[in-house]
Amino acid sequence: MDTQRKKGVLEICVLAALQKEPSYGYRIVSDLSPYIDVSESTLYPILRRLESSGCVSTFSQEHNGRLRKYYRLEIPGQEKIQQFLSEAEEMRRIYQYVEEEYQ
């Protein structure tokens, strides 16, 4: 997959992974891995960008005697997911057109 396209899709996937409940880096990677190739080294810069833009917020919580950083979806992140989904139908039409013309 094209790097720029994958970057945008990964951001949406990360936001979607946080839709139901706050989560932490390793778990987000585990949740996404069946669907898209992502590593922790790729994930953390995405999380920092999403935090800087207000799409996610962070908090720390103790787990097995250590503090674990959790990420929580915020309203701008929810809006970003909604925008992505509203564009999905248009993208399906574009893919359909390309497939039809390619054959």
- Read off the pLDDT of each residue in 18-29 and give the average, rounded to a whole number: 97
User: Is the model's pLDDT at 7 over the cut of 80?
Assistant: no
Residues 6+ apart with CB under 8 A from 11: 46, 49, 50, 80
pLDDT band with cut points at 50, 70 and 90 for residue 97: very high
**Is 80:30 a contact under the CB 8 Å cutoff?**
no
Mean pLDDT of the chain: 93
**Residues 50, 68: Cα–Cα separation, whole Å:** 18
CA atoms within 13 A on the CB side of 70: 14
Instruction: Kindly report the CATH class assigned to 3-102.
Output: mainly alpha
pLDDT at residue 22 greater than cutoff 80: yes
